[in-house]
Structure 1
């Protein structure tokens, strides 16, 4: 289960494979951020997939309870048990991609919640430790948002005209409305944190611009206003764990920085609390390293579909929906 030292390689970036064009070709693995995730969509994979069962067995022993049973009963999209199940499903998908489909990535990336799986896959955290950390961070966040920013949500919008959208944000700012951009995912695709009391007005204004609403996250994520949560997580959770240097380059989801040291990995994991994610910067960084094939391992309805992803990479997805189907996953070639 998981990557061996031989697979990880001894150099920061594994030897490149030359294509007919003569251009260096490298592969990356992406652990996606967590969207809506429940037992109905992932339960069959977790029950039947041998890689998932192996991961679950370790997690159950570490935690002292059945993750699968509690995930089945949880209900809430972002509950502690849904987060644990999402982590396990993401790493099990990577195990399957390695063992069954020959995935050998040169670069690793994790967007938002996917950073935890990326840290484990890259060897910065042992799998038992990342399981414990995930559970403890879920409880830490729940405790924090019970008393702080309890009225704030993060809402995703897409296909908004950029100039008009930023004019809308300027109007909100001029009125004294609090908000923060918590993520930029593609042209016209943003995550915005704001008070829930203002959410309906915001959705209506986005619709008037011709944009669409995607989903709302509770609790909210990735905002400078949550600096106290970062400090709480660092003091109460991160001090318990030894974070090591990654065995292969990891791409920061805040700005696309290449993470290669233990301290930089620790900073990246903490940045998720109070820094917005920027997927286009991650795409640019991976492309700059010579990546042209991207494996997306885990439940993902978004990152592999984004225009900037499709333009930059050939994409293969291994997820709870397709992992149990016969044959290898279908390659989506880059858009012309």
Structure 2
């Protein structure tokens, strides 16, 4: 019985220092960075190492780093997962692993998507973000959101990671108000604020991405099933995976549905592939989690020899 799954998390801030030793010791990483640099027309690794904060460098480096980790895993231990999960930005990495996109098209798509999204977010009427809250009662949180909306201060749930961890989309000013309320009530913890994503006010961004980016690329059918974190369904066609990427722009992530599906299908082992993130901590209660990131790569393989 196949009881393994791969999870490619969404974008997370990562520093060159976290990857420096890994990149130096990984021929996969060096080769992919060189290929990416040739395709993009600029020295991606050099920019990443020099601390370039541009959204293109950030996302392209994250993408190359994650694929490099995947390649190292594949060489050290052949794993044939029952499901592959790509959350948010991780859908692109999953698409490459599943044979739906090749690296050449994917790296161009990552760059073009980053530019369109960055321009769109900068042109919005004010600065927005996604704020993550830990251990706040969901019914009470929904009441609080309704209270903000009744005052003309837009807010909505954009990410359901678990029953305890929720992402809220709102303006930065509104998020600041929310953080103060949370602190006073003392019922939960404000984790961090990230870029706005997965909210209904991004419908026009979804349309732009479709017209300017995704419509230019062909997605082949998948060589293994993909498990959606929007509705928990299984995806096997390339066109459905492309639509999943677009739907992810303005629809909330519901990772709770993924969690339920993995339990129902008796998945035991989950490989979380990418820089350190909160998914491992969320999943370890019910699954054996193997974090495939630079700090744990060597010890992970040593344990599995």
Q: TM-score range by the shorter chain?
A: over 0.9
Q: 84-93 vs 64-73, which deviates more?
A: 64-73
1:316 to 263, 278, 290: 290
- 2:7 aligned partner: 30
> 5+ unaligned residues in a row in structure 2: which ranges?
none
1:198 to 161, 168, 174: 174
Report the secondary structure of 2:113's partner residue. helix
Contact 1:178–1:194, Cα closer than 8 Å, also in 2: yes
Partners of 1:66 and 1:32 lie apart in 2 by 25
Partners of 1:300 and 1:43 lie apart in 2 by 15
Partners of 1:248 and 1:36 lie apart in 2 by 29
Structure with bigger helix share is 2
Could you list the per-position Cα deviations for residues 273-309 of structure 1 after superposition, in whole angstroms to 9, with x for gaps in the alignment? 1111111111222333442211111113201111xx2
- 2:249 aligned partner: 273
Deviation at residue 75 of structure 1 after TM alignment: 4.4
Q: Residue 326 and residue 72 in structure 1: after superposition, are their counterparts in 2 closer, same or farther (change >3 A)?
A: same
Partners of 1:48 and 1:62 lie apart in 2 by 23
Runs ≥4 residues deviating over 4 A: none
1:51 lines up with 2:24 in the alignment: no
1:40 lines up with 2:17 in the alignment: yes
- CA RMSD in angstroms, aligned pairs only: 1.9
Q: Residue 326 and residue 87 in structure 1: after superposition, are their counterparts in 2 closer, same or farther (change >3 A)?
A: same
Give TM-score scaled by structure 1 length. Answer: 0.85
Number of matched pairs = 303
Q: Residue 303 and residue 226 in structure 1: after superposition, are their counterparts in 2 closer, same or farther (change >3 A)?
A: same
Partners of 1:210 and 1:163 lie apart in 2 by 13
Deviation at residue 102 of structure 1 after TM alignment: 2.8
> 5+ unaligned residues in a row in structure 1: which ranges?
1-15, 17-24, 332-336
